[in-house]
Every structure is written in structure tokens, then in C-alpha cells.
Structure 1
Amino acid sequence: MTVPLQNTAALQNADRPTVSIATYPDYPQAQRAVDYLSDNGFPVEHTAIVGTGLRLVEQVTGRLTVGRAALAGAGTGAWFGLFIGVLLGLFSDSNWFAVVLTALIVGALWGAAFGAIAHAMTGGRRDFSSRSYLAAEQYGVTVDAEHGEVARNLLGRLAMTL
């Protein structure tokens, strides 16, 4: 499956040779380096931050019970009900506040029911909540080869100020 790239500048830069000018143990340091290059007039459109050694981390945030699933579903349903209520309220001759409040309550009730049912149907195979993120072992700053020397010199000045 091919995923189309949205950034045409990235497509143009993909064919150019690049050089690594620095590596950092975390993303904020790499971001700080690119920001420093930008602050000093470097054409940062020729720069990339490349994470290597990627891994998926799933941080478990707590136990998920039918009650918690229903509560989360109620919250989601309430937001959806609020949205529908505002839309209906705009085009209704009835009391706007009553329409919005009714839609919010109905949305919360349906959301709670669907949340509880969906969790119960898992049969206990996933009784925890979590959030996932990608983490890299290190982050490299690369630039197009023709700009490598200028970027290295600028980052050398940054290293001297730290």
C-alpha cells in the first residue's frame, strides 16, 4: 500500500544527498538545534530531524472496568450530543437551551450504554486502558549535502555557548 505524501517540498528534497550534522539523545535537543539554525538565518527547509531506533511504547494508565468504560462512553456521547444539540437548536423554533440540554443528556446515556456494551463484549481480553507513543533511541539532524558545512559551523557555535 502506498501512502501519498502531503508535503511536496519533502518529495523534492528526497532525491538530494544529505549529511548528518549532529545526533541528540532526545527530541527537544534536536529541535533546539534546528531552531538555532533557523534563528541564525540558515535555510531550514533543507533540514530534517530523523529518529532512529524507533520503538512503540504502550503506557498502561489504569484498570478498565465496565463502569469506567461506561463513564468514558458517556463523556464521548455527551460531546457528540452537545454538537448535535447545538446544530438542532440553531434551526429549531423550540427553546434553544432545552434542545441542547436534551441532546447532551441523550448523547451521554447512549454513549454510556455503548461504552459498557463494547467493553463487556471484549470478554475480559483487555481490562486496562493505555496510551501509545513512538520513541526513538536518538535523533539526528540532517541537511542537504550542499548546506552541510554551514550548518556544522553554526551548530559548533551553539555547542560553545552551552
Structure 2
Amino acid sequence: MATNATLIHDTDRSVDGSYRLGEFSSYPDAARLVLRLFDAGFPVLHVRIIDVGPHRAEPSGHVAEGRAGLIGAGLGAWLGMLTGLVLVLVLTGVAWLDVLLGAVLIGSVAGGVMGLIIHWGTDGRGDREKPRRYVVEVDSAHTEDAVDALGRA
């Protein structure tokens, strides 16, 4: 199985001052780089693998259409309630309960429809199918030793 891996010998400085040794499309490829460092005698406690890919909001399985619609309706109802509260505070001389209930009803219907549309558009997968990236970084104080160890390995 071919993977997309980039090994950066001249290193790139990251935001927190550590140095990026490599960027990989799979965790096993990133772990192999750390193993190469370990085999070359480098203290790997100064190395970390960072998952910079998308994060999952729904870790298990496929979301059914009904559940997607209910989640959307619930979120829409909350948004409708907040909108209704703002309208009640701004408008004068209106029946506040009617405005609030109407806003909740409209929000839940719109949210349910949007939930179903989003579910249909992603085929219920969300972002779970997007590619992930794993970055191998080393502490800045040990960068030269890590690059030397990679040269020996």
C-alpha cells in the first residue's frame, strides 16, 4: 500500500518552537520515522506525533436520516428560540408568547430540513472520509541531534 509521506531533512520551525521532521498521511508512517530515530539511538521522549487532520464529532457509525433531521430540528429550535427572544425584546405591542412559539416552530422546521439536506449531501459520513495528516516534531533543543540520527539511520 503506497502512502503519501514527506520527510523534511532541513526541518521547519513550528509555532511552539519545536521543529517538524516529517509529515505523513498515515500514523504508521509517522511511527516508522520515530522508530528510525529510536534505532539510531536518539531519545524519542523529545519527539511527538501530532494529528493535524480533521476531528470527528461523531466517532461511531453512520447517522440515520431521521436522527440527522432531529438533530437539525433541535438546533433550529434553539436558534428560533433565541431569535424569538430578541424579537420580543425589540418589538413592542406584540403577543410575546406567539412570537416565541412561532420562532421556535419555524426554526425547528428549517433546522430539520437543513439537517436532512446536509445528511443527503455528505451521504451521512460528515468529515470522517477526509484525509488525515500526522506531523512528527522534535523539541527545538534536540533538533540537530534528531537530524543527525536520521542521517545515520
Q: TM-score, normalised by structure 2?
A: 0.45
Structure richer in strand, relative to its length: 1
